[in-house]
Structure 1
Amino acid sequence: MSSLGGSQFKQEGPARGRPRSEAVERAIVEGVVKLLEEGVPLAELSIERIARTAGVGKATIYRRWSGKEELFVDVVRTAEPPDPELPGVSMRDDLVALLEQLRRRGLMTRSSALLHNVHAQMKSSPKIWAAYENAVIGPRRRLGREVLRRGQENGELRTDVDIEVLHDIIVGPMLVRAVMRPDAELPDGLAEQIVDTLLEGVRPVSSPPA
């Protein structure tokens, strides 16, 4: 059985049709995983084929997902580390939590041939990648920017710093190691090292004593 089997499935927006059944959803997601493990490309995975593999009707899938793209996003999301619960104590600690999730996601992608393959295929499908961007990447970016805005409001971050640019500067080093340099190490403590190194230059400067 795939390691995705025990995951919980989340969907934003109002529920469609009958009440959700976690067992049914698990069977559908595992059906997709089974087909992917057999080497079936994403482009050849039809809702009809997924339904047949999962032992459900096509209508059962459409009651839970609007289409193949949304279903694939949930499949990938269940294989990734869950989004972190932010400590909410300081901007620094929240940023470390966000980067740690990216580090663990990078480690999982490297260790899972299936996840690595699916990510590669998703990028070649504009519709699926757009769905992933909208449902996963976009909300994560908004959360990171919100942490930085709170840092400015709390006096932890200079108010003249561009939030958009700083977010990319903070996230960039981890993404480079996790995505663009598969040979680079992702050691414990890397999230803290990146955040602490960068924050040294963007903290407000205390006025010298008179």
Structure 2
Amino acid sequence: MDTERQATLTAPAAAPHCVPPRRGRPRSEAAEQAICEAVERLMTDGKSLADLTIEGIAQAAGVGKATIYRRWPNKEALLVDVLVRLEEPEPVLPGTSARDDLVVILDFMRRRGLAKRSRWVLRVVLDQMHSMPALKEVYYDQVVMRRRRIIHQVVGRGVAAGEFRADLDVELLGEMLIGPMLLRTVLWDESPLDDPELPATIVDSLLEGLCGPSRGVPTG
């Protein structure tokens, strides 16, 4: 297995609970859990992201401010970890083909969309994040861009293996393949997401082409 493929298959999944990337002296997982749950509870009680303060979070969690600052440098970093905690861990890709990996990625997006629709706190946090540039920047850097790189790696392997056309930009190919699911999960809330076969249908429809039999395949 080549180095790039190994990196793709073992790309770090989103942590199921708040675990900051930097490590020092041993830290209490119970304290981290309490802090994350305090943020969720405050949001459920009607607090906006802008209303949240380190002081208020510490009081709600029953810890001192220093306990929070030992784990996160600022509120934005803490809220990113809470966002990650609210979502499902990213899937391990099978690596059997680029097509199979993309189906798994799209199914992760589908489940994430269902979670956003059913979990009020996740929806509110994602919507309000755009009004906080610092939080959005950290979230995009640590979560969105990482997922984007994984998609580009998968598509790049598909091009190299001859699964996808080589005359299109890898970034454009990735957008074409995940775009339909992204629209359903982000913009079109009324679109159904409960069909587990939807990811395979999207990927295979694009791979098989969109032309009807009356048009045939252009010859030149």
Give the shorter-chain TM-score range: 0.7 to 0.9
Whether the aligned pair in 1 keeps the contact of 2:19 and 2:32 (CA below 8 Å) is no
1:104-123 alignment to 2 at 5 Å?
104-123=111-130
One-letter amino acid of the structure 1 residue matched with residue 202 of structure 2: I
Aligned equivalents of 2:150, 2:126: Cα separation in 1: 22
One-letter amino acid of the structure 2 residue matched with residue 132 of structure 1: Y
One-letter amino acid of the structure 2 residue matched with residue 197 of structure 1: S
Aligned to 1:85: 92
1:183-202 alignment to 2 at 5 Å?
183-186=190-193, 187-201=195-209
Report how far residue 158 of structure 1 moved.
Answer: 2.4
Report how far residue 25 of structure 1 moved.
Answer: 0.7
Aligned equivalents of 1:168, 1:192: Cα separation in 2: 16
1:40 to 2:47 alignment: yes
One-letter amino acid of the structure 2 residue matched with residue 32 of structure 1: V
Aligned equivalents of 2:27, 2:207: Cα separation in 1: 44
Query: What is the RMSD of the two structures over their aligned residues, measured on CA atoms?
Result: 1.7
1:2-81 alignment to 2 at 5 Å?
7-12=16-21, 14-15=22-23, 17-81=24-88
One-letter amino acid of the structure 2 residue matched with residue 130 of structure 1: E
Aligned equivalents of 2:165, 2:175: Cα separation in 1: 16
Q: What whole-Å deviation, never above 9, does each CA across 1:61-85 have from its counterpart, x for those lacking one?
A: 1111111111111111111111010
Which residue among 174, 180, 184 is the counterpart of 1:173?
A: 180
One-letter amino acid of the structure 2 residue matched with residue 10 of structure 1: V
Aligned equivalents of 2:20, 2:151: Cα separation in 1: 21
One-letter amino acid of the structure 2 residue matched with residue 194 of structure 1: I
One-letter amino acid of the structure 2 residue matched with residue 106 of structure 1: G
- Aligned residue for 2:163, secondary structure, equals coil
- Aligned residue for 2:50, secondary structure, equals helix
Whether the aligned pair in 2 keeps the contact of 1:8 and 1:22 (CA below 8 Å) is no
Report how far residue 154 of structure 1 moved.
Answer: 2.1
1:144-183 alignment to 2 at 5 Å?
144-183=151-190
Aligned to 2:213: none
Whether the aligned pair in 2 keeps the contact of 1:18 and 1:63 (CA below 8 Å) is no
Report how far residue 9 of structure 1 moved.
Answer: 2.8
Report how far residue 130 of structure 1 moved.
Answer: 1.2
- Answer 1 or 2: higher relative contact order, Cα 8 Å, separation at least 6: 2
Unaligned regions of 5+ residues in structure 1, if any? 1-6, 202-210
Unaligned regions of 5+ residues in structure 2, if any? 1-15, 210-220
Report how far residue 23 of structure 1 moved.
Answer: 1.1
Q: What whole-Å deviation, never above 9, does each CA across 1:121-143 have from its counterpart, x for those lacking one?
A: 11221111111111111100000
Aligned equivalents of 1:150, 1:90: Cα separation in 2: 8
Aligned equivalents of 2:70, 2:167: Cα separation in 1: 48
Aligned to 1:139: 146
Report how far residue 58 of structure 1 moved.
Answer: 1.0
Q: What whole-Å deviation, never above 9, does each CA across 1:31-73 have from its counterpart, x for those lacking one?
A: 1111111101111111111111111111111111111111111
